[in-house]
Chain A
């Protein structure tokens, strides 16, 4: 089983829709999590950090389910500009390593 797994998508949604995708992780000791956004051929940029049960920033909500070992990202009122790949990143505790999911691709359609 991969340490961090994401559905690659693509998720095709109309503008204004609400979309959610999950990221599962295998290390139950993981304490912190990140969602990064990556546009095509660009660098990943931090979207949200998740340290406890969840985090909210405008239209974006991240939630952590420790029992089932996944984090989710919910995007409300999708915009065309939300089209990107969303990377789930889980630091490997006690090390300097970050484990990256392969990303979920979102396309918001006009």
Chain B
């Protein structure tokens, strides 16, 4: 079964709205979560690395004030797209690394964001 839950799976909203996406690790602690963005028919681009209890590390070109990341607990990271515009429409995917385990990351099912 799924070990990483991402919610919502699909959201449609008006331009100017802020949208929060949750990424939860189920039954394990994740000190590090990653947020990726995927444009249609393209690969995943890393947006930021989210570390529990500290500020996220953003990749070059990603606006910190636009994409707010909070990793308040060992099982939850949130990505808030503030004042979303049509160009923010995309597929957002999170992944989580299981603490104390040398294993590949587990991915959520993604969130399809459509801004009208």
Q: Do A and B come from one complex?
A: no
- Show the binding face of B for A, using Cβ within 8 Å: none
- Show the binding face of A for B, using Cβ within 8 Å: none
